[in-house]
Amino acid sequence: MFTSLLALVAILPAFVKAQSPIWGQCGGKLSLLASTMNAPYSLRHLQAKDGFLAGPTTCASGSTCTVSNPYYSQCLPSSAGGGGGGTTTVGTTTTPTTTIGTTTASAPTGSQTPDAGNPYLGHNIYLTPFYAAEVTAAAANITDATTKAKALSVAKIPTFTWFDTVAKVPDLGTYLADASAQGKSSGTPMIVQIIVYDLPDRDCAAAASNGEFSIANNGQANYFNYIDQLVAQIQKFPDVRVVAIIEPDSLANLVTNLSVQKCANAQTTYLACVTYAIQQLNKLGNVYSYLDAGHAGWLGWPANLSPAAQLFTSLYKNAGSPSFVRGLATNVANYNALQAATPDPITQGNPNYDEIHYINALGPVLSSAGFPAHFIVDQGRSGVQNIRQQWGDWCNVKGSGFGQRPTINTGFSAIDAVVWAKPGGECDGTSNSSAARFDFHCALADADQPAPEAGTWFQEFFVTLVTKANPPL
């Protein structure tokens, strides 16, 4: 790592003499995060306080170097068409306010004040038509009348919609328009729940969830464009509140998996992209973001708590402490109980054996560091416990059941809501070892097989989720 850094410093002068083209990068901090190789669950932060500039620091004529976040500055076209080369920090402006339900929020500028309390209060949650259609189609293929009725009831339970490709982004506008109409008709404003999930070289320590962008092929710029498209859809409907989970697995990989070369190569890009995402969404005034924080069996180990809190807090503060970043999401697409009656044997050695123990351990560390310690917890597939052979087994776990229904009556002040983040029935990954996105976890003895590609419908697994739901459907 240190040798690579010295090499980087040595070649920088060759680049900074050049000018970056319009829309190109013109500066940004290279944050250095290195894992301790002989301590697999720890993270050592090596920070260059003044940072390093990656590439040219001046812009071609007709553009101005504009600071987007501490990790990325971009040559944006000058409004007057003048020469480039200067640096301008994006500021906030004052625009008229729009009433949203019982709260008041500005139009998209970044100067809004979020609700102090739980963002779910006073709102109805939108049911995504796409998942409802998947469930209805699945129920039609179930012959047992009782099971069919239970399956159909799942279509009325709110889940998050994953925007894992750019091609899906226009659907968000359709959902927001529908939610806006429903809110106006009922007199109660709506919440649309989304998952922002399209990082370049996504899922750097696995294979099943590899995405459409590559860092080596303009991935960061493509991701920024993806975020810009999400923003363009959301800003049309300021009367609809959006709750967003930001990039499952990404930041947790930077805590524990930097020994994986793909993760080490992706760390700077991940930080730049997540920073850009939360900053741009924050400007809208109606998007409450929760950064993904893995789960109890990942970052919940005592040795990981402080490094995780450091990483979340550093990113949050470097992004300017965005006021609409509400906190963290845990257990997304995983199987841990919120509050286990007894520890699952696979959790032996970790005192934080369920999500509430993890949250209660991480929350104070976050608060003391200056990060907002509020949480949402996925319980969509956590109805059955003690069914995994190892805690790290995550792929279509055999015998899983739908879990606790979404609610804001969580019983814990730190938890804003229990949610269903992973739409039950959509596959985690294929068990076909010859597939390009095959991950060995999907062929383990406790993984339901045969399984189709990640994201496609897995009928047999869905039926099991229905029949083993706890509490029952």
What per-residue confidence (pLDDT) applies to 66?
A: 63
How big is the CA angle at 369 (ends 365 and 373), to the nearest 5 degrees? 60
Q: Could you say which of 70, 89, 108 is where a domain stops?
A: 89
User: Do 105 and 24 share a structural domain?
Assistant: no
What per-residue confidence (pLDDT) applies to 59?
A: 72
Per run of 10 residues, the mean pLDDT along the chain (length 473 residues) is 38 41 50 31 29 54 60 46 29 26 32 84 97 98 98 98 98 98 98 98 80 95 98 98 97 96 96 98 98 98 97 98 98 98 96 98 97 98 98 97 97 97 96 92 96 96 98 98
User: What 3-state class would DSSP assign to 60?
Assistant: coil
User: Do 384 and 256 share a structural domain?
Assistant: yes
User: Do 37 and 186 share a structural domain?
Assistant: no
Q: Could you say which of 56, 89, 122 is where a domain stops?
A: 89
User: Do 116 and 82 share a structural domain?
Assistant: no
Q: Could you say which of 89, 109, 125 is where a domain stops?
A: 89
User: Do 47 and 120 share a structural domain?
Assistant: no
What per-residue confidence (pLDDT) applies to 298?
A: 97
Would you say residue 112 lies in a domain? yes
Would you say residue 260 lies in a domain? yes
Q: What range defines the domain where residue 29 resides?
A: 2-89
What per-residue confidence (pLDDT) applies to 103?
A: 30
Whether the CB-CB separation of 471 and 404 falls below 8 Å is answered with: yes
Is residue 422 a known part of a binding site?
yes
Is residue 295 a known part of a binding site?
yes
Would you say residue 400 lies in a domain? yes
Of the candidates 135, 133, 160, 161, the residue with the CA atom closest to the CA atom of residue 150: 135
Is residue 164 a known part of a binding site?
yes
User: Do 17 and 160 share a structural domain?
Assistant: no
User: Do 281 and 409 share a structural domain?
Assistant: yes
Would you say residue 472 lies in a domain? no
What per-residue confidence (pLDDT) applies to 18?
A: 55
What per-residue confidence (pLDDT) applies to 76?
A: 52
User: Do 107 and 84 share a structural domain?
Assistant: no
Would you say residue 473 lies in a domain? no
- Collect all residues with Cβ–Cβ distance below 8 Å to 99 and sequence separation of at least 6: none
CATH number of the domain within which 131 lies: 3.20.20.40
> Structural domain tally of the chain?
2
Is residue 162 a known part of a binding site?
yes
User: Do 74 and 37 share a structural domain?
Assistant: yes
φ and ψ of 342, to 5 deg: -140, 155
User: Do 293 and 343 share a structural domain?
Assistant: yes
What per-residue confidence (pLDDT) applies to 100?
A: 25
Would you say residue 282 lies in a domain? yes
Looking only at the bridges linking them, the beta strands covering 43-46 and 19-20 are: unpaired
User: Do 54 and 158 share a structural domain?
Assistant: no
Preceding omega of 471 cis (within 30 degrees of 0): yes
CA–CA gap between residue 8 and residue 54 (Å, rounded):
9
Is residue 394 a known part of a binding site?
yes
Active site residues: 249, 428
What per-residue confidence (pLDDT) applies to 44?
A: 27
User: Which secondary-structure segment (H or E) carries 169?
Assistant: helix 169-186
User: Do 110 and 77 share a structural domain?
Assistant: no
